[in-house]
Amino acid sequence: MNVMKLDQGILVDQNKMLTCTEHLENLQNWTLDQRIKTRLKDTGFPRLSELEKCQHDNQLLKCVVSHFNTETCGFEFGDIKLVFGLKDVLKITGLHITGQSVTGTGGDMTHWSNQCFGQDLTFKKQRAIRGAIKLSVLREKFMEVPPNAIEVELDRHTRAYVLGSSLFSSSSKGDVDTLHLPLLYHVEKIKDYAWGAAALAHLYCSMKKIKEEGIKHLHGIALSLQIFVFLHLTKIKDLLMLSSLDFANEQLPLINDWSRHFKQFTLNKSKKVDYLDLINTMTAKEVSLVI
């Protein structure tokens, strides 16, 4: 069954370049101290430090997002419908999809910065309700853990790492919102929150803004969405990934092995890839409905 071509009117403006911001890039050079790993056991966050590459294919993501249905929160490729759901997020990122809701809390973020880091690291962004913290400041102050660090200091380094991963990125590449900072205060409770579910909801909101408001910036767990696309749209994977890559022995969470795959991502730079044409000519046999 051939995939039907979609009405071009629902597509994101193909003349606009879609850009992505994902603060997981911030963790690629962040060597996680074993003491911090211990504090983050069973949260899913330590595995994110093992990423080798956080490489987005903006053209591919733009095409995929253009097929996003804001009402069903699924992707519609003609007769084929795919949903990037909670179980996919768990398999790809390892982050919890059940637990306490990750909600923003009110309060003085200067106070919460002092509580979490022992100092006020926030700054006021223009036209922003809350303050923000620069990622460079988190790296500078908390990436290196002193060998004689006491418990309170280890907790601060742990919070900085989680905040630095910032699953809830915005259009700003250099800083992170303080919205969820109060949830990090009790380090032992970080594992109790459904961070994966919240990250997926954040991505949905971003894609909805792209479709409905013409925003041309995708923020959130874009790398995980890209992995989902390669896992399901096998026609694209077979065309763009090196045939020598080992897909048979991948381990959970998939994001680590796929970060290594993308390190060798060829993208066939010598020729222009027309993703829209690839998808519009895709057959049902070239789509995997399960991973």
Q: What is the mean pLDDT of residues 79-83?
A: 91
Contact criterion met (CB below 8 Å) for 202 and 63: no
Residue 76 phi, psi dihedral angles, 5° rounding: -115, 110
Structure tokens at 191: 């594992």
pLDDT of residue 4 exceeding 50: no
pLDDT band for position 266 (cuts 50, 70, 90):
low
Q: Could you give the percent of the chain with pLDDT greater than 70?
A: 87
According to the model, what pLDDT value does residue 128 have? 64
Helix axes 151-165, 109-117, angle to 10 degrees: 130
Structure tokens at 216: 């041309």
Each residue's pLDDT tens digit, 99-144: 999 987 777 899 999 999 999 999 987 766 778 999 999 999 999 9
According to the model, what pLDDT value does residue 285 have? 87
According to the model, what pLDDT value does residue 168 have? 84
According to the model, what pLDDT value does residue 173 have? 77
Q: What is the mean pLDDT of residues 29-47?
A: 90
Of 238 and 252, the structure prediction assigns the larger pLDDT to 252
Direct distance between the N- and C-terminal alpha carbons of the chain, in angstroms, rounded to an integer: 21
What is the C-alpha separation between 184 and 159, in angstroms, rounded?
6
Strands (E), 88-247: 122-124, 131-134, 175-177, 217-219
Peptide bond into 147 cis (omega under 30): no
Of 145 and 28, the structure prediction assigns the larger pLDDT to 145
Each residue's pLDDT tens digit, 147-189: 999 999 999 999 999 998 878 887 777 899 899 999 999 999 9
Domain boundaries, the chain: 8-286
What is the C-alpha separation between 264 and 76, in angstroms, rounded?
29
According to the model, what pLDDT value does residue 7 have? 35
Contact criterion met (CB below 8 Å) for 168 and 180: yes
Residue in the structure block whose two tokens are 């911090």: 36
Length of the chain in terms of residues written: 291
Neighbours of 214 (CB within 10 A): 10
Contact criterion met (CB below 8 Å) for 253 and 260: no
Q: What is the mean pLDDT of residues 42-49?
A: 88
What is the C-alpha separation between 88 and 289, in angstroms, rounded?
12
